[in-house]
Amino acid sequence: MQEINYSTIISQKIINKLIYSRAQSILNEGPTDQVWGLHSIDTNDVKIYKGCFITPNDSSLFISILGESNGSSGNASRLNIIAHLKDSLIIDYYEQGVLPDKICDYNSDGVDDLFFNVNSVWMGYCNDHHSLESFANKKN
């Protein structure tokens, strides 16, 4: 899947403001099961992919924003958001994670899946975790 240039969707200034304000409100909620160690975001490193991430035939956006996280987060230092862009940015789902290695419809259900590789070091032990995630019908 190709990363899209979000300036073709809406002006960069407006999208940055929308993304930053919504992402900041997520961080302000404090630690949750989805976002546990992320304490700031950097709107200069935003990746946006267009696809069908929630339901087939319903275009949505996968937005990944680089941030700073505590040491127990490993390389999971991004805020990942599934959203729709209508009159405003409507967030369907979010979680702390990494940039996906691959995005495609693995099981041919019409919903784009994401393959992640997460690694961490905790008290001298290295851990690699590979996961294939589908956000079909997932909501926070």
> Which is more confidently placed, 70 or 77?
77
* 140 found inside a domain: no
pLDDT in tens, 16-69: 777 888 889 999 988 888 888 888 888 778 888 889 999 898 889 999 999 888
Residue 7: which pLDDT band, with cuts at 50, 70 and 90? very low
Amino acid symbol at 18: L
Q: Is 111 exposed, middle or buried (0-12, 13-18, 19+ CB in 10 A)?
A: buried
What's the domain range around 67?
6-134
* 31 found inside a domain: yes
Amino acid symbol at 131: S
User: What is the pLDDT, as a whole number, of residue 8?
Assistant: 47
* 1 found inside a domain: no
Q: How many domains does the chain have?
A: 1
Is residue 9 predicted with pLDDT exceeding 60?
no
* 139 found inside a domain: no
- Give the torsion through C-alpha atoms of 33, 27, 88, 102, to 10 deg: -60
